[in-house]
Amino acid sequence: MDVKDGETVKGTNFVNLRSAGDPVELAAYYSEAGADELVFLDITASHEGRKTFTDMVTRVASTINIPFTVGGGIHELSDVERLLYAGADKVSVNSAALRRPELINEIANRFGSQVCVCAIDARETTSGWKCYLNGGRIETERGLFEWAREAADRGAGEILFTSMNHDGVKQGYANDALSRLSDELSIPIIASGGAGAPEHFRDAFLIGKSDAALAASVFHYGEIKIQELKAYLKSSGIRIRI
């Protein structure tokens, strides 16, 4: 769930955001509907936005009984401590880790690798997969695969890879890139960006070899029901918690 000013939003290719509802109400709904985990990303982490987001994390923690990850505006250990104290199970770092990779080591050493998710927003360009900063606004020279390997080596417990090319398009995940990440890294890979049909989730697991698949709009707008999706995946031979 992308959260902006206390409201869940969703866009296409990281732009054209539209409202998707109250994040605490959605969290309760997804928890009851059978989601395994939730991810909340504060996409406007200004000082005031950070306070609003922290309050939301506290309310979510008191409402649901499944693990959830939070990210956005995490630059130092005090930010991690604040969100874990509010009730989050894991934190996701992205731009701040690209700018200062040592942040991953610091989080892993202080709180354990299981707390640290390294989120990577990447776009496939003519010169390969490039990582982006600030919610997909700024291209960097870092390549997806070498940065993912470094993040894992520094202590990240999971990689959350979002393909900007596929985000919100609903034509399937970036399975070739996911498969390579899975082959090259020993930590779990979470697929993000591109879900539009149950078959896309299936392919993310069978072709992309991902350990988890994240989706937003197909759930927010009722296009896919979680329990129906889980039943379909189980019938496709994928081990999944029903």
In this predicted structure, which of 5-9, 52-56, 66-70 has the lowest mean pLDDT? 5-9
Q: What is the mean pLDDT of residues 31-40?
A: 96
Short-list 226, 168, 225, 221, CA closest to 20:
221
What pLDDT score does 47 carry?
A: 61
DSSP 91-148: EEE-HHHHH-THHHHHHHHHH-GGGEEEEEEEEEETTEEEEEETTTTEEEEEEHHHHH
- What pLDDT is attached to residue 214? 96
Alpha-carbon distance of 80 to 153, in angstroms, equals: 20
For 79-130, how does the pLDDT look when each residue is reduced to its tens digit (9 = 90+)?
999 999 999 999 999 999 999 999 999 999 999 999 999 999 999 999 999 9
pLDDT at residue 94, as a whole number: 94
Across 8-15, average pLDDT = 62
Compute the radius of gyration of the chain from its Cα atoms. 17
Nearest partner of 60 among 92, 29, 18, judged by Cα: 29
pTM of the model: 0.92
Residue range 197-220: mean pLDDT, rounded: 96
Question: In the 8-state DSSP scheme, what is residue 213?
Answer: E
Taking 70 as the threshold, does the pLDDT of residue 76 lie above it? yes
Report how far Cα 123 is from the mean position of its chain's Cα atoms.
16
The arithmetic mean of pLDDT across residues 55-67, rounded, is: 96
180-193: pLDDT as tens digits: 999 999 999 999 99
Residue 49's pLDDT is 67
What number is the average pLDDT over the span 146-155? Answer: 98
Q: Which residues belong to the active site?
A: 2, 121
User: Contact, 41 vs 92, CB < 8 A?
Assistant: yes
Of 175, 184, 107, nearest in space to 147 by CA: 184
In the chain, what percentage of residues exceed pLDDT 70? Answer: 93
Please give the pLDDT value at position 109: 98
* CB atoms near residue 184 (< 10 Å): 13
Percent of the chain exceeding pLDDT 90 equals 77
48 or 26: which carries more pLDDT confidence? 26
Q: CB of 166 within 8 A of CB of 175?
A: no
Assign 66 to helix, strand or coil.
Answer: coil
Res 10: pLDDT: 66
pLDDT of amino acid 14: 45
CA distance linking residue 214 with residue 208, whole number of Å: 13
Residue 56 to residue 60: CA distance in whole angstroms:
6
Mean per-residue pLDDT, 34-47: 85
Asked whether the predicted pLDDT for residue 12 surpasses 60, the reply is no
Give 66's pLDDT tier (boundaries 50, 70, 90): very high
Confidence of residue 73 (pLDDT cuts 50, 70, 90): confident
pLDDT at 11: 58
